[in-house]
Amino acid sequence: MAAFAPNSALVFSGRGATGARSLSSRSIAKPVAINDQSRARKVNVGVRAATGSIREQAGRRAPLEKSTLFNCKYVPFSGDQNEEYSIDDVIYRSKNGGLLDVQHDMEALAIYPPEYWKALFDERVGKTVWPYGSGVWSKKEWVLPGISDDDIVSMFEGNSNLFWADRYGREVLGMNDLWVKQCGNSHTGSFKDLGMTALVSQVNRMRKQGKPLAAVGCASTGDTSAALSAYAAAAGIPSIVFLPADKISLAQLVQPIANGSLVLSIDTDFDGCMRLIREVTAELPIYLANSLNSLRLEGQKTAAIEILQQFDWQVPDYVIIPGGNLGNVYAFFKGFKMCKDLGLVDKLPRMVVAQAHNANPLYRAYKTGFEKFEAIKAEPTFASAIQIGDPVSIDRAVYALKETNGIVEEATEEELMDAAAEADLTGMFNCPHTGVALAALKKLREAQTIGPSDKVVVVSTAHGLKFAQSKVAYHAGEIEGIVGKFANPPVEVKEDFGLVMDVLKERLVQ
């Protein structure tokens, strides 16, 4: 089969040209040899036309030649595979009460060879072409292929950097190929943006179809509410969030407030908020935005595709993900699996889920060989976004781990805070959840499960600035029961040159 380069744009501006030229539909449909990619990209990057917004330009762009064949639908995650639903249906569970999954027509996607998809995805990275400037919508055909570009609600999320943790890996762990996927470098500061752009876009589409959806709602430990409120605000859709009182950071609380959400602070934990929002959405026309809704995972899986793309389609040996409600675990697996099934890569990475000791139901199940799972009452943890004792996506996560010969590890409060602080000393600024993943990595290195030359990606799920309170408390020595091995408090000194010099000399000698 001949290798093709993408055909994604209808207009372009030639170098030195004063206006845009139109390409004929015939030239759009014509395959372009991979050898001509550099020339094709100049044509197809979708440089802005002389007039019109980027949405209007998208409306004039010719679709991929076979794009009408691409489709997706809901099917049960497990159970009767003859049961299926339209992606436009308001439904969250299958007939037997199990989770749903978004299933793509893989045969249709396979019409285009792996080289085509690689070239297409690479072509779209970092552009301002609507909606492909988004790390999620640059993979639109693999996310929600049937949605109109005009219905998409995006803030050009994703495309987060893959940080080479050179000094930390080399000096602390004895590793030379350690990377941190900075998913917190997104619009609202967490990976939740990736899933929310997909979900809110679909809600926007359904509301335009006349579906009686008055609002979108979620239960949240902080980051989901921030993402939902921002994307709903951008679309002009009312949003409602249920938050556990006094269990999220101030930065996480103020985000949905600032974006105009109706915020209900409830005297319970996340699991209690989740039970309430499910009861409410069963009675009122409020669309459920939690990861129980498999639409979220379609956006989140693009982070896995991004990792492969950033490695020039080389597969890492291990990917370590903080786990709470566990939807992200399956989302990453799904992204890697789609790339393998469509021939872009030839293997899957070994997946590792890192849990806080105070909220570790998956870890406990792993220790029994997944023969037994019991929900627990999650105890308070600085990794508040994963303080979940009854994860919705437990079955999804177990499946992903079994398919990749995966591992589950845990970290105590002291281990996770120390790990985050130690890595911060090498230039990072980690959230506590990333600390959980780094602490798990440290244990796996000590056990020699992960080798010094293994290519490892740690997924950082949120920006450290959202958890500044806990970091201040750590460095100030204000956390009961935690010594703070890597604490670095400010040194108080009077306005005296000699005293300042004494402090500097003492520190410089160290």
180 and 314 belong to one structural domain: yes
How high is the pLDDT of residue 287? 95
Q: Give the total number of structural domains in the chain.
A: 2
Whether residue 102 lies inside any domain: the answer is: no
36 and 175 belong to one structural domain: no
Among 92, 125, 151, identify where a domain stops: 151
343 and 383 belong to one structural domain: yes
Among 104, 129, 151, identify where a domain stops: 151
How high is the pLDDT of residue 290? 85
Whether residue 434 lies inside any domain: the answer is: yes
Whether residue 311 lies inside any domain: the answer is: yes
338 and 454 belong to one structural domain: yes
H or E element, residue 280? helix 270-283
pTM listed for this prediction: 0.87
Whether residue 116 lies inside any domain: the answer is: yes
Among 97, 129, 151, identify where a domain stops: 151
Whether residue 289 lies inside any domain: the answer is: no
Whether 453 contacts 184, CB under 8 Å? no
45 and 8 belong to one structural domain: yes
25 and 168 belong to one structural domain: no
Question: φ and ψ at 22, to 5 degrees?
Answer: -90, 140
Cα(12)–Cα(98) distance, rounded to whole angstroms?
Answer: 48
Helix (H, G, I), strand (E, B) or coil at 358: helix
Domain CATH number, residue 467: 3.40.50.1100
Which structural domain range is residue 341 located in?
Answer: 162-188+297-475
Whether residue 85 lies inside any domain: the answer is: no
Whether residue 264 lies inside any domain: the answer is: no
173 and 138 belong to one structural domain: no
43 and 174 belong to one structural domain: no
How high is the pLDDT of residue 17? 34
Token pair in block for residue 373: 């799972």
Sign of the Cα torsion 358, 77, 276, 297 reads positive
125 and 181 belong to one structural domain: no
147 and 172 belong to one structural domain: no
Q: Where are the alpha helices (DSSP H) in 409-487?
A: 413-424, 432-446, 468-475
Across 413-441, b (16+ Cβ under 10 Å) vs e yields bbbbbbbbbbbbeeebbbbbbbbbbbbbb
Strands (E), 195-275: 215-219, 239-244, 262-266
Whether residue 439 lies inside any domain: the answer is: yes
Whether 171 contacts 209, CB under 8 Å? no
177 and 135 belong to one structural domain: no
Residue with tokens 């951008």, as numbered in its chain: 234
How high is the pLDDT of residue 510? 64
Cα(476)–Cα(189) distance, rounded to whole angstroms?
Answer: 25
What number of residues does the chain have?
Answer: 510
Q: Mean pLDDT per segment of 10 residues, for the chain of length 510 residues?
A: 38 32 32 40 43 81 81 91 93 93 97 96 92 96 96 97 97 98 95 97 97 94 90 97 83 89 90 90 92 93 98 98 95 98 98 98 97 94 92 95 98 98 97 98 98 98 93 95 95 95 88
Sign of the Cα torsion 494, 496, 499, 505 reads positive
- Starting at the edge strand found earlier in the chain, the sheet holding 318-322 runs 162-164, 178-182, 456-460, 318-322, 350-356, 407-411
307 and 170 belong to one structural domain: yes
